[in-house]
Amino acid sequence: MTNRPTLPLAALLALSGPGAWAAEPSPEGFIEGSRLSVLNRNYYFNRDHRDGPAPTYHRGKASDNGYSEAWAHAIIARFESGFTPGTVGVGVDAFAMLGLKLDTGGGRNGGRSSFDVLPVDRDGQARDEYTKVGGAAKVRLLDTVLRVGDVFPANPVVAAGDSRLLPESFRGVTLENTSLAGLTLQAGRLHGMSQPVSSDLRDTFVTFYGGPVDSPWIAYGGGDYAINDNVSVSLFGSRLKDVWNQYYAGTSMIWPLSEQLALIGAFNFYNARDEGRQRLGRFDTDIWSAKLGVRYGAHTVALTHQRNNGDNDFDYLRQSDSIFLDNSIQYSDFNSPKERSWMLRYDLNLAAYGIPGLSFMTRYGRGSDADYSHANAYYMRRDGNGDPLTGQKRWERDIEVKYVVQTGPAKDLSLRVRQATTRATAFESDLDEVRVIVEYPLSIL
């Protein structure tokens, strides 16, 4: 491809158009529009590394028990003010988060790895508690909101992750515009990130596969547009300075055939290429996924195919959700060079059977043909003889059950159980996972 979409900040402002200036200011005030919520999250996670050693340390020594386990509790308080009245309104967002260790046991805390439930010190000990406290000032000009400070962007190229005890955040400037019906435009420039196990709100950038990178900022821009109730499209671009330019295009569709029956489809495409000082070497990677499925009443079945046409792993920010690919699932991303993968997924909403709030999901994905023959030094994986790995395969099976209380004093209390099993050749781990997550949100204001 030679023409790739990118929407820098100036373009987004231009795209907001005259509709932004014709909108009426919101009547809500700073106090009247405020919201205060507290989320209690109880999080249990174990990972059995089967025949391999767990990346775990205890009192400075490596553990070979092959098992990672942690149980912790989080209290996540968020305050969002309204805006002062007028054409230009100001406000503030703030958060205070506390993570508490309940149990890890000697040598089972997961160490410094993708397990990432609790922060671990230099001696390999999990901390008993840790905190995150931050906030952002915000300004609203009609339908455009500017935030400066600690932010939680959500888009295909920069998305704050929330799959661990505490959520990930970023520090910088973001802009969002909703002037046109169905269209949401976003842009931002971020100069720090805070991973789930960090109390520092301005850590350096870290990618999942390439590791830490010496990059001063990441910038992004793009938009989502709902063409109608059945079709939506997205275009986004980002630059991690001196590392990569990433471009994303995607669409999702629903074709109702009757009141009970509908076809569903989706397509996601990324291009990632090296930029500036090439902190993670040279690369030019195209990866895409396509989904086709059917929804009949409470049942949804979907088949997806995903393919990486590049010579290197498709990378993204560590512990973020910045990978909108159908076969990026609980553990595996199926994003290795030349890898082709298929996945079959089934969802069931048991509200149709008299149990509102209860849902079930299972999926099975299989990847093949991963080939590191032409990977650069940062993404290269080799066998015991020092040769690049070729012909690599893997599969993953996930099962998830979730229940959300619908009424009464415990309304919105949720219980989720997630289980994953993965098996792979030399380039990946064999493991079994179980996660149990209980959440109770409280709306104070």
Q: pLDDT exceeding 70 applies to what percent of the chain?
A: 90
What local confidence, expressed as pLDDT, does residue 19 receive? 38
Mean pLDDT of the 277-288 span: 97
* DSSP assignment string, 312-352: S----BTT------TT--SS----STT-EEEEEEEEEEGGG
Mean pLDDT of the 40-50 span: 93
Candidate ranges 42-51, 105-114, 169-178; pick with highest mean pLDDT: 169-178
Take residue 97 and report the two structure tokens written for it. Answer: 């988060």
0.85 surpassed by pTM: yes
CA 254, CA 414: separation in Å to the nearest integer? 28
Mean pLDDT of the 82-90 span: 93
Mean pLDDT of the 196-224 span: 95
**C-alpha closest to that of 293 among 346, 362, 358, 348:** 346
Q: pLDDT for 374-403, tens place per residue? A: 999 999 999 999 999 999 999 999 999 999
Q: Judge contact between 133 and 97, C-beta under 8 A.
A: yes
Spans of all domains in the chain: 9-443
CA 411, CA 51: separation in Å to the nearest integer? 42
More confident residue, 105 or 269: 269
Residue with tokens 């990972």: 47
Indicate if the pLDDT at residue 429 is higher than 90: no
Spatial CB neighbours of 47, under 8 Å, sequence gap ≥ 6: 54, 67, 68, 69, 110, 115, 431, 432, 433
Indicate the Cα dihedral angle 146, 325, 255, 5, nearest 10°. Answer: 50
Q: Judge contact between 240 and 216, C-beta under 8 A.
A: no
Within 10 A of 256 (CB to CB), how many other CB atoms are there? 12
CA 1, CA 42: separation in Å to the nearest integer? 46
The structural architecture, per CATH, of the domain 9-443 is: Beta Barrel (2.40)
More confident residue, 28 or 143: 143
What local confidence, expressed as pLDDT, does residue 15 receive? 39
What local confidence, expressed as pLDDT, does residue 27 receive? 54
